Chains A and B, each alone.
Chain A
Amino acid sequence: KQEVTQIPAALSVPEGENLVLNCSFTDSAIYNLQWFRQDPGKGLTSLLLIQSSQREQTSGRLNASLDKSSGRSTLYIAASQPGDSATYLCACNTGKLIFGQGTTLQVKP
């Protein structure tokens, strides 16, 4: 059974810092992995989708990597801003989507 874990559950950093959010999964036979952002009281917004054949995807200040052999994905946020404060979730597709519980990020001005 696929289990997806995101550690830490919460993170607080000063503005301008580069940071890494972690996502680990137990079943390496995934088709793809998706990172989402969720603002309080809102839905999920898709950030990046990495196919199993890819090692990384980039969008602006965001870079997501995928290492299936170690069961890990990371979301790198460069030069963090207060507007990046949100909960970030990863979801693994092994034929169905399994979500992690998220990391709540606070970027302090």
Chain B
Amino acid sequence: NAGVTQTPKFQVLKTGQSMTLQCAQDMNHNSMYWYRQDPGMGLRLIYYSASEGTTDKGEVPNGYNVSRLNKREFSLRLESAAPSQTSVYFCASSENPSQSGPLAGELFFGEGSRLTVL
């Protein structure tokens, strides 16, 4: 059981380049998330998808776009990378949306994608 799988694990980009981070989960979860983790800033939500066919902005959505391709897959795209987007990106999934209050399920995380923008 793979859980949440992210690709690539490492990537180096030049300023202005574009790229897509891929995420897939095999737990049949409804909700998926993209977080970034930075020293001193903790984990911050970029975008989330409460269910297939929906996406919403999180705390720090600027400079990113997402696509919920199907129930399993949720991708994060950087259209024009900037050095401020150097970070570790985590995809996560849960059975119910974390925004559903008391119904919120446990979050399961991928192993992260380490992105450096020069």
The secondary-structure label for the interface of chain B is mixed
A53 CB, nearest partner CB in chain B, Å: 8
A96/B106 in contact, CB under 8 A: no
A47 CB, nearest partner CB in chain B, Å: 10
A52/B102 in contact, CB under 8 A: yes
* Complex interface: stretch among A20-28, A76-84, A97-105: A97-105
In the assembled complex, A18 has its CB within 8 A of some CB on chain B: no
* Complex interface: stretch among B11-19, B38-46, B70-78: B38-46
Contacts of B107 in A (CB 8 A): 34, 36, 44, 46, 91, 97
Q: In the complex the two chains form, what is the Cα distance from A100 to B37 in whole Å? A: 12
A93/B98 in contact, CB under 8 A: yes
Contacts of B108 in A (CB 8 A): 46
Q: From the candidates B101, B102, B111, name the one contacting A43 in the complex (CB within 8 A).
A: B111
A44/B102 in contact, CB under 8 A: no
Contacts of A102 in B (CB 8 A): 42
Contacts of A101 in B (CB 8 A): 40, 42
B90/A97 in contact, CB under 8 A: no
B99/A96 in contact, CB under 8 A: yes
A103 CB, nearest partner CB in chain B, Å: 12
The secondary-structure label for the interface of chain A is strand
Q: Give B20-71 interface residues, CB cut-off 8 Å to A.
A: 40, 42-43, 45, 58
Q: In the complex the two chains form, what is the Cα distance from A43 to B107 in whole Å? A: 11
Q: In the complex the two chains form, what is the Cα distance from A58 to B24 in whole Å? A: 30
With most chain A CB atoms within 10 A of its CB, the pick from B4, B45, B98, B108 is B98
B106/A99 in contact, CB under 8 A: no
14 contacts between A and B (CB under 8 A): A31-B102, A32-B104, A45-B109, A46-B107, A46-B108, A49-B106, A52-B102, A91-B43, A93-B104, A95-B99, A97-B98, A99-B42, A99-B43, A102-B42
Interface residues of B (CB under 8 A from A): 4, 40, 42-43, 45, 58, 90, 92, 98-99, 101-102, 104-112
